[in-house]
Amino acid sequence: MAAMKLQVLQENLNKAIGIASRFTSNRAQLPILGNILLSANKSKLTVSSTNLEISVSTSMGAKIEKEGEIGVPSRVFTELISNLPQETLTLEAEKEQLKISTPSFSSNVLGMNTSDFPKIPSRVAKEKGIVFPKEDFSKALSKVLFASSIDETRPILTGVLLILEKGSLTLVATDGFRLSFNKINIQGIKEGIRMVLPKNVLSEVGRVDEGEEIVLELQEKEKQVVFGMGDTFLSSRLLEGEFPDFEKIIPKTSVYKISVDKEDLLRAVKLSAPFARDNANIVKIKTLKDSIKLFAESSQAGNQETKVEAKVEPGEFEIAFNYRFLEDFLNSASGEEIKMEFSDIDKPGVFLDPTTPDYLHLIMPVKIQG
């Protein structure tokens, strides 16, 4: 490992390790994965990390005196850099030690040889990739990510299905109790691609505030995908398995249709929460002539009901849902009004945001006794 010496701005390095530190891994059998890789080359410092499922590589301008690389323990390095003032830092690696210094500070951090560090992508081939606006993608993601599962026993449901077809990108997520579907128009997509990606990597793509566009490159042979955003590259393995046939689940018809002010409904859901929490999160929705009533009760805390003005067609109907699922949907909707459609007490409720016509959310009702 060559000796390395460079100067870099604290704020640039801090931003890069803020991303990289989230993808280190504490696997005892692979100690190198608990490290952040620093590589100095020409006029750039590249910061990389991987947990073998998701990898990140981000570069910044630096004054390089000697090219080289070193692995540094993520936790120690992140804490040190984040607490230093915004000034120029000197980093100097000799053998397996990194010296960090400023005019008023000096630290020697024990590092690791980088020969065992896995090779991770640090570029995308734009001509092979699909380019789309970052803002559109981030907005679309925010409407589906929350519906993916956290239950690792069905790994495929912890991801998001991406369907790329001519002129559009569809995102679908489900945890088996609810489903979110959002479609956006994207020019330049010619071929049909379906893939399921872990939600962690997608939420990171939404968080990286670099560049106006995202370049997505599918590397089929390696079963991975790489996202390029400015000087940051995130790569992820594809999730394998059969994603549920979501088109079958979406109801084709509905009987009861309700239009209601989003904020009014959200307030009613929040008012039900203290009681619903003690009773399996259940909140009942009852349609009346020109309003709906939300009711929640608890044997420990009491009960509440809130009436909300609404446009209802046709008559009376009662259905129950997990209040958290209603709250998640309402927080994701952009418009002032939302629409709800029901066909039966045991069929999924359809939740729509009229300002986003290609956004649809389904929630399975809760069975209620009596």
Model pLDDT, residue 189: 76
Q: Give tens-digit pLDDT for 147-185.
A: 999 998 999 999 999 999 988 999 999 999 999 999 999
Question: What does pTM read for this prediction?
Answer: 0.89
* Euclidean distance between the first and the last CA atom of the chain, given in angstroms as a whole number: 72
Q: Give tens-digit pLDDT for 284-300.
A: 999 999 999 999 999 99
pLDDT at 370 over 60: no
Q: Give tens-digit pLDDT for 17-48.
A: 999 999 999 876 788 999 999 999 999 999 99
Q: Give tens-digit pLDDT for 98-150.
A: 999 999 999 999 999 999 899 998 888 777 888 888 999 999 999 999 999 99
SS (H, E, C) the chain: CCCEEEEEEHHHHHHHHHHHHHHCCCCCCCHHHHEEEEEEECCEEEEEEECCCEEEEEEEECEEEECEEEEEEHHHHHHHHHHCCCCEEEEEEECCEEEEEECCEEEEEECECCCCCCCCCCCCCCCCCEEEEHHHHHHHHHCCHHHCCCCCCCHHHHEEEEEEECCEEEEEEECCCEEEEEEEECCCCCCCEEEEEEHHHHHHHHHCCCCCEEEEEEECCCCEEEEEECCEEEEEECCCCCCCCHHHHCCCCCCEEEEEEHHHHHHHHHHHHHHHCCCCCEEEEEECCCEEEEEEEECCCEEEEEEEEEEEECCCEEEEEEHHHHHHHHHHCCCCEEEEEECCCCCCEEEECCCCCCEEEEECCCCCCC
pLDDT at 2 over 80: no
Q: Give tens-digit pLDDT for 48-99.
A: 999 998 999 999 999 999 999 999 999 999 999 999 999 999 999 998 999 9
pLDDT at 267 over 90: yes
Q: How confident is the model at residue 1 (pLDDT cuts 50, 70, 90)?
A: low
* Structural domains in the chain, sorted by start: 4-110 (3.10.150.10), 130-247 (3.10.150.10), 250-363 (3.10.150.10)
Q: Give tens-digit pLDDT for 309-346.
A: 999 998 889 999 999 999 999 999 999 999 999 999 99
